[in-house]
Structure 1
Amino acid sequence: MTSTDTAASAAPLTVEQLRRRGWRGRLAVLGPAFVAAVAYVDPGNFATNFSAGAGYGYLLVWVIVVANLMAMLIQSLSAKLGLATGKNLPELCREHLTPWRNRFMWAQAELVAIATDLAEVIGGAVALHLLFGIPLFTGGVITGVIAFVLLGLQSRGHRPFERAIVFLLAIILVGLVSTLLRTDVDGPALAAGLVPGFDGVGSLVLATGILGATVMPHVIYLHSALTQGRLVARGPEDTRFLLRVGRTDIALGMGVAGLVNLSMLVVAAALFAGTDVPGTDTLEGIFAGLGTELDAVAAYGFAIALLASGFASSGVGTYAGQVIMAGFLRRRIPLLLRRLLTLAPALLVLGIGIDPTQALVLSQVVLSFGIPFALVPLVWLTARREVMGDLVNHRVTTTAAVVVAAVVVGLNAFLIWEAFVA
């Protein structure tokens, strides 16, 4: 069953009926952005944000704020693309790109999916080890199985899957924001962190990792699939209603993700920056440091949030992998086989003993390099009236999206220059 078939079978009410139901109708349409939001608070975010706060204090607060604003714009374009065309981004790339370009796009998107799963499975494995002492390899297998179970909820329609993801997102939010509220934050330093700046190549690497962990390539592909065919607009009023609710969905979902990401960095900056707390560049060290500097409640809140993140984001990542292959190649493989293919590299990393936190940070840098290949086609397609019809981007929107794409490409190019040439 395709995602479109599932959505259609689970949404018997028409858009007009939902409009007449007021706020209850709006609630019935919310959901896709919260699924996307989970990818913005995956375990890679834990590694990069806590490492950034512990190593550079409040310096990179501005990166999280800017990345979250970028995410809102990008996800709104992806959602609108699915709504306007009834197709997702990989499907439209297959239609509008030459065959060799399409195959290249598929290949790099699959690498992005593998890097995504690497972060998510490692995060879940580390969390299970911190909470229950489970070996990392076994924890990785458990995380993969839980993700498979979550995806099984799709057979009952989009709502059960979305509710499970929102529940896990709520656990992440509570686990981290509750710690933030109990932390003594330096207000002036936090405000100063809103001013853009770097402190050497190390901070630039982490900034690129934060960007890769916040503006996730695979979820750019996915969001267009989450809205395609979900509800069919049968007139201008229906279209305007779906657009308004979609913007609300994105503002809420991305707002939650931004608050979670900011909480991570600020807590690390307040508790670890400039201190002699050891190991704060690792997830295990952060867990121990929270217990030392605050209390066991903060430490276990962190671990539970990390576990919820690993479970939820791994399910969403595998879903995105399905969309990528089906869209670019018009082929599907059994869900279990896809789960095993993307799980294998993560289990290999865990099996040979590579440092989990370092693998997480590097995976986010890989994701950052994959952003332009998802973002540029998205901007190009949503700016074309023959593709979007009346929902084509306003010129200001296209300009803003081009600037975002240029910033991402420029940051990555500068990183390469500093790391390998300068």
Structure 2
Amino acid sequence: MTDQHNESLGSVHSSVITENKTGWRKFMAFIGPAYLVSVGYMDPGNWATDIAGGSAFGYKLICVLFASNLIALLLQSLSARLGIVRGLDLAQASKYSYNRFVNFCLYILAQIAIVACDLAEIIGMAIGLNLLFHLPLIWGVSLTITDTVLMLFLMNKGMRKLEAFIVSMIFVIGLSFLVEMFIVKPDFVEVAKGFIPTSLTGSSLYLAIGIIGATVMPHNLYLHSSLVQTRKITRTDAGIKSAIKFNIWDTLIALNVAFVVNAAILILAASAFFTNGYFQVAEIQDAYKLLEHIFGSLAPVLFAIALIASGQSSTITGTLAGQIIMEGHINLRIEPWLRRLLTRVLAIVPAVFTILYFGETGLGSLIILSQVVLSLQLGFAVIPLIHFVSDRKKMGNFAIGPVVKILAWGCAIIIVGLNAQLVYQQLGDWEKASPTAALWIYIAVFPVVIGIALLLIYVFFRPIFFKHKYQPKYVPHGLATVIDELDVIKYHHIAVTIDFSQNDTESIRHAIMQGGKHADYTLIHVVETAGARYYGDEVMDQETQSDLDNLDKYVDALKKLGYKASPKIGYGAPAASIAKIVNNDHIDFIVMGSHGHKVIKDLIFGTTVNRVRHMVNVPVLVVKRPPAS
């Protein structure tokens, strides 16, 4: 039933085995994806909106938080259903259903949302470090760029290790707030009244939309549809039905844990600040100081520890979502560390700008603004998702029924309606604030708002009127061709890269297997000394002379065995030097030994094999490095 496409998060796709397991073992095999999603519901952006809402309006906005959680449960379950049934993430499904220009626009909007999310996590981490260790915020913001290393390490260890790390962070957050609830002693009767809906206007509406944006995050819909594909399932109706059931339970448990944590933050703010007359606590730092003032030292320390844990865990899932969105919408795949770095830099810039020009007190408002931006992007993820899971032609028996469809479209209407009201209200406020602002609104802002509204209308109507026009237009790696007959290929000139290690013998042996005694063999070694980089073939230092002598020994040994071999020395950057020799000497096959680097060393020393592959137009055989004896 899966569509033909490139695998989402290919390095961990179907990496967790669920088959041949029963009972609790099977249930535990499916547990994980929703927990990675749920950390986005507990990130520093939630903290800011919950603290601001609780301090300003007491328990009044608990109903908004509860409604947001119900919407999240429904939409995340639909996202998981899409990934399980069609084997597509939300971005890939959009790529196949909308044209290239629309996909590019959707990618830009989704990327803005991820940067907004990352912005909240940066600020949260920096504030947590500042509160615990008194580290200046500008330093804390700068230090957050280093979490790229942690992201690479966890991804390299596999999906289950990554999930275990995230669950441990959730445990730290949950435990911290459980203890804090005993300290602040909330009024549970008033808490229960908070579940009763009330009218929202002005600042309460702004905060309510911020809470929705902080809770129902658009990038989590992309993420969940991909993460469920890390489970290897039996692709029969029974197997798919079982996978959907287990993932619904996974979603229910994880998101309700997230709701309890969010409710705890809002209740904490209402109990500690609103009831004590502190109605305008919009800054996380202020919340920390007031907790210390009212309840002593333990509560604020737990608060800061939980804040750091939430920021660190959320930043990892944000990176995964960014990779999914980039590969899905515009079919661009880059290294995870570079993807992480780009997102982090784009988020650091506004944070640093705010600290420098508005001071540290402006960060709280910036976090809340980032959550409103997330909410404004929600419609562009939710509307396509509902269309995709409603399509009986593609989903078969697993398309959603009328009741779920009505509930889903009801959620979409609420989200889009509240956002439209917010935009209208905000434009009106700007216009009233300054007479000159009205001109700029009509020149710069109004056209953008109209353009985004038209895009949203197109995204809604396109699948309705062209529902049978679906076809995988952009197959990332092309379509398989018909194979009629395969002729034996003879290579006449083979290059072997030499690094004077245990790998050399294996590389030469594999090269001979390809060319036999009729081929010419060029043994290539690259000298990487500082002199070689600056002076090229004019250098003749001790290392270069030693390498030449060693290379000649290999050549002489091959000649004695009856093979035609010659040495070749390159200078400077290995990949460029190897590619230059291959292209100049008309070599038609390359054998290279893998260097055996992992993660950090790849960042430091580079990956020569991958670079060479992109610089030559001949086959490259990579020989695995033999294990150390």
Give the TM-score band, short-chain normalised: over 0.9
Whether contact under 8 Å (2:378, 2:415) holds in the other structure is: yes
- Cα drift, residue 277 of structure 1: 4.3
| Runs of at least 5 residues in structure 1 that lack an aligned partner in the other structure | none
Matches of 1:396 and 1:231 in 2, distance apart?
30
Contact kept, 8 Å, 1:287 with 1:299, in 2: the verdict is: yes
Kindly, what percent of the aligned residue pairs are identical? 35
Secondary structure of 1:238's counterpart equals helix
The aligned counterpart of 1:55 is: 56
2:396 alignment partner, one of 368, 385, 389: 389
Alignment of 1:9-20 (within 5 A): 10-11=15-16, 13-15=17-19, 17-18=20-21, 20=22
Is the Cα–Cα contact under 8 Å of residues 279 and 285 in structure 1 kept in the other structure? no
The equivalent residue for 2:139 is 138
| Conserved 8 A contact 1:76-1:246 | yes
The number of residue pairs the alignment matches comes to 417
Alpha-carbon deviation of 1:229? 5.2
By how many angstroms is 1:276 displaced? 4.3
**1:403 corresponds to 2:404:** no
For residue 14 of structure 1, report the CA deviation from its aligned partner: 4.8
For 1:405, the aligned partner's letter is A
Amino acid of the structure 2 residue aligned with 1:376:
I
* In 1, Cα distance between equivalents of 2:249 and 2:301: 32
Are 1:291 and 1:298, in contact at CA under 8 Å, matched by a contact in 2? yes
2:422 partner amino acid: L
Query: Whose strand fraction is larger, Structure 1's or Structure 2's?
Result: 2
How far apart are 1:69 and its partner, in Å? Answer: 0.7
What is the identity, as a one-letter code, of the residue corresponding to 1:392? A
Note the 1:61-140 alignment, pairs <5 A: 61-140=62-141
- The equivalent residue for 1:39 is 40
1:334 offset after TM fit, Å? 2.3
Written as runs of structure 1 = structure 2, the 5 A alignment for 1:141-290 is 141-198=142-199, 200-228=201-229, 230-277=231-278, 280-290=281-291
C-alpha distance in 1 between matches for 2:185 and 2:421: 35
Distance 2:328 2:122 in 1: 24
Q: Could you tell me which amino acid in structure 2 is paired with residue 313 of structure 1?
A: S
When residues 65 and 147 of structure 1 are mapped into structure 2, their CA distance, relative to the original with a 3 A threshold, is farther
Matching residue within 3, 7, 18 for 2:9: 3
Q: Match of 1:226, as an amino acid?
A: L
Q: Deviations over 1:164-221 (max 9, x none)?
A: 1111111111112221233222233222221222454111110000000000011111
Distance 1:299 1:279 in 2: 18
* Matched AA of 2:424: W
Question: Given the alignment, which residue of 396, 402, 412 partners 2:419?
Answer: 412
1:302 aligns with 2:308: no
Q: CA deviation at 1:255?
A: 0.7
Contact 1:211 1:368 in 2 (8 A): yes
Distance in 2, matches of 1:79 and 1:137, equals 39
SS in 2 for 1:228: helix
Return the match for 1:377 from 361, 371, 384.
384
What TM-score do the two structures reach when normalised by structure 1?
Answer: 0.95
Distance 2:165 2:350 in 1: 28
Is the 1:278–1:289 contact (alpha carbons within 8 Å) kept by the matching residues of 2? no
Between the aligned partners of 1:234 and 1:333, the Cα distance in structure 2 is 30
In 1, distance between residues paired with 2:152 and 2:401? 36
Larger relative contact order (CA 8 Å, sep ≥ 6): 1
Tell me, yes or no, if structure 1 residue 360 matches structure 2 residue 364: no
Question: Whole-Å Cα distance in 2 between the matches of residues 371 and 136 of structure 1?
Answer: 30
Q: Distance in 1 between matches of 2:107 and 2:124?
A: 26
Q: Which has the larger radius of gyration?
A: 2
Q: In 2, distance between residues paired with 1:224 and 1:300?
A: 36
Partner-residue secondary structure (3-state), 2:276: coil
234-243 or 314-323, which deviates more: 234-243
Q: Residues 56 and 280 of structure 2 are in contact (CA less than 8 Å); yes or no, is this contact kept in structure 1? A: no
Asked if the contact 1:121–1:143 (Cα under 8 Å) also holds between the matched residues in 2, the reply is: yes
- Range with bigger deviation, 409-418 or 373-382: 409-418
1:112-146 residue CA offsets vs partner (Å, 9 max, x unmatched): 11111111111111111111111223222333322
Structure 1 pair 148–119 and aligned structure 2 pair: CA distance change class (3 A): farther
Residues of 1 paired with 2:345 and 2:396: CA distance? 42
| Residues 1:46 and 1:229: Cα distance change in structure 2 (over 3 Å) | closer
What's 1:23 paired with?
Answer: 24
Aligned residue type for 2:207: L
After superposition, the CA RMSD in angstroms is 1.8
CA distance in 2, matches of 1:278, 1:302: 19
**CA-CA distance at 1:329 after TM superposition:** 0.8
